[in-house]
Amino acid sequence: MWNHSGVELDRTTEETKDLDMDAAALLAFKVWTYKQGELVSLMIHLGDRLGLYHDLAHAGPTTPAELAERTGLHQRWLLEWLRGQAAAGLLETTDGETFEMSPESATVLSDESDSLLFAAGAFQGGAAPPEVVDRIAEAFRTGIGLTYDEMGPAAAHSVERMLAPWSRIALVPELLPRLADASERLGGGARVIDVGCGAGTAVLTLAEAFPGSTFEGWDPSAHAIERARAAAAERGIPNATFVQQPAAGLPDEPTFDLVLTFDCLHDMTHPEQAAEAIRGCIAADGTWLIKEVKAGDTWAENQRNPVLAMMYATSVLTCMSSALSAPDGAGLGTLGLPPARLEQLCRDAGFSGAFDVHDIGDPANLYYEVRPN
Ligand SMILES: C[S@@+](CC[C@H](N)C(=O)[O-])C[C@H]1O[C@@H](n2cnc3c(N)ncnc32)[C@H](O)[C@@H]1O
């Protein structure tokens, strides 16, 4: 038997360990598929970054020479990348010489502006730079994780590219009409705050759709707020402002008709304080709209999630890490707020009105419409 470096393994040593060698070989294969996933992820990032998917999406059958001509990139490098993409099942080829992108592949890998299935943005720059990995390893010793800002400016960009398509494409046409009165109130002129707004896509999308309402985005991340302010200035959106502050600093007066927290309560060190602060700043007839990861109450329920391992890895790298970035952090993490626990959090913070759950067919998230009274 040979291992991957071509060294012959001592078969008798292996056998005396009382191993099921077939099961071990299968497990080794599984482990190598994760390595393959890591490397194909990097190739997806290159395809996205170099505009290759954009080009191929509209091009029809393409040879490396034609792709090189159109993009100005080197043909030999493109050939290797194209063959790898076909091997990964992302492009089509019959001869390894001419390649084509299917409409389905274009939807997932190229169509950032109007496809909810667009995924290439999530491959921005690898899972984490080495210095962040070093700090995560250290966090296993200290117990203290990294804030979003401590993961660096590239992480803010990655998070934005991964989450922005939903806010841009689905928030106004898909989610708002399901809420009791949000569209009417926004149309009539409302005060809105997005707590944990990240790079501000939801705020900017709503501000453009409802020019008679005013919008604030709050987030403690300097990198995210910088991106949000730059986007607002570039798009010339006058009714949106951004504040670099955590939820705990919200004004203690019933000011806002609509409060948003999208994909961020489980990242907070003190989500219960955030809920109390939101209770303090929401109008008596206001709405708190929450987007939270679709999590189960038990390990068995979570087994139904086909990307469960990715969720836990995301938690270690990002969500739980952020939620443990203070010594007394709650540390909820990616799967830490299933519906019952979220409802308890809201009730404990003084939200005594309706708690409605909206499952709008988003495989990863649930949406909650919560009323203070
Ligand atoms: C996964 S991102 C979501 C960003 C944005 N809501 C979206 O959907 O794109 C989580 C955000 O929560 C923010 N966050 C973490 N702790 C926070 C706190 N205490 N108050 C407000 N935001 C916080 C992080 O800085 C980060 O921008």
Give the domain CATH number at 172. Answer: 3.40.50.150
Q: Are residues 19 and 145 located together in one domain of the fold?
A: no
**For residue 35, what is the domain's CATH number?**
1.10.10.10
Within 8 A by CB and 6+ apart from 364, the residues are 293, 294
- Rounded Cα distance, 201 and 207, in Å: 10
pLDDT tens digit string along 80-117? 999 999 999 999 999 999 999 999 999 999 999 989 99
Tell me: do 168 and 303 sit in the same domain. Answer: yes
Residue 127 pLDDT level (bands cut at 50, 70, 90): confident
Indicate whether 249 belongs to any domain: yes
Residue 199 lies in a domain: yes
- Do 39 and 160 sit in the same domain of this protein? no
Residue 2 lies in a domain: no
Query: How far, in Å, is the centroid of ligand 1 from the Cα of 197?
Result: 6
Tell me how far the alpha carbon of residue 270 lies from the centroid of ligand 1, in angstroms: 12
Q: Tokens 């830490």 sit at which residue?
A: 336
Q: Are residues 185 and 255 in the same domain?
A: yes
- What's the CA-to-centroid distance between 266 and ligand 1, angstroms? 9
- Asked whether residue 125 is domain-assigned, the answer is no
Query: pLDDT tens digit string along 130-185?
Result: 999 999 999 999 999 999 999 999 899 999 999 999 999 999 999 999 999 999 99
Asked if 46 and 106 sit in the same domain, the reply is yes
Ligand 1, closest atom to CA 260?
Answer: 6
Name the residue at shortest CA distance from atom 22 of ligand 1: 196
Q: Residue 296: helix, strand or coil by DSSP?
A: coil
Sequence letter at residue 319:
C
| pLDDT for the residue numbered 13 | 55
Structure tokens at 304: 């139904």
Same-domain pairing of 85 and 157: no
Of 112, 140, 157, the residue that ends a domain is 112
5: in domain = no
Query: Domain ends where: 64, 79, 112?
Result: 112
What pLDDT digit, counting tens, does each position of 284-297 carry?
999 999 999 999 99
pLDDT given for residue 14 in this prediction: 55
**What confidence category does residue 2 fall into, taking pLDDT thresholds of 50, 70 and 90?**
very low
In this structure, which residue's CA is closest to atom 17 in ligand 1? 268
Determine the pLDDT at residue 3.
53
Q: Which of 86, 112, 138 is the last residue of a domain?
A: 112
Residues 103 and 150 in one domain: no
Domain total in the chain: 2
Q: Are residues 83 and 17 in the same domain?
A: yes
Whether pLDDT at 1 is above 80? no
335 lies in a domain? yes
Ligand 1 pocket: which residues have CB below 6 Å? Answer: 148, 159, 163, 195-198, 201, 219-221, 224, 246-247, 262-264, 267-268, 274, 322
Whether 1 is covered by a domain: the verdict is no
Are 319 and 219 in a shared domain?
yes
Mean pLDDT of the chain: 94
Separation of alpha carbons 155 and 162, rounded Å = 10
Mean pLDDT of 68-77: 98
- Tell me, yes or no, whether 325 lies in a domain: yes
* Inter-CA distances, 96 with 39, 52, 88, 195, 319, Å: 20, 17, 13, 49, 41
Cα 308 to chain centroid, rounded: 14
Residue with CA at minimum distance from ligand 1 atom 27: 198
Containing structural domain, residue 43: 11-112
Judge if 63 and 145 occupy the same domain. no
Beta strands at 355-358 and 256-262: parallel, antiparallel or unpaired: unpaired
pLDDT at 18: 85
Half-sphere exposure of 242 toward its Cβ, with a 13 Å CA cutoff?
27
Same domain, 154 and 64: no
pLDDT in tens, 213-236: 999 999 999 999 999 999 999 999
> Which pLDDT value is given to residue 38?
95
Which band of pLDDT confidence, cut at 50, 70 and 90, is reported for residue 368?
A: very high
pLDDT recorded at residue 11: 54
Same domain, 206 and 253: yes
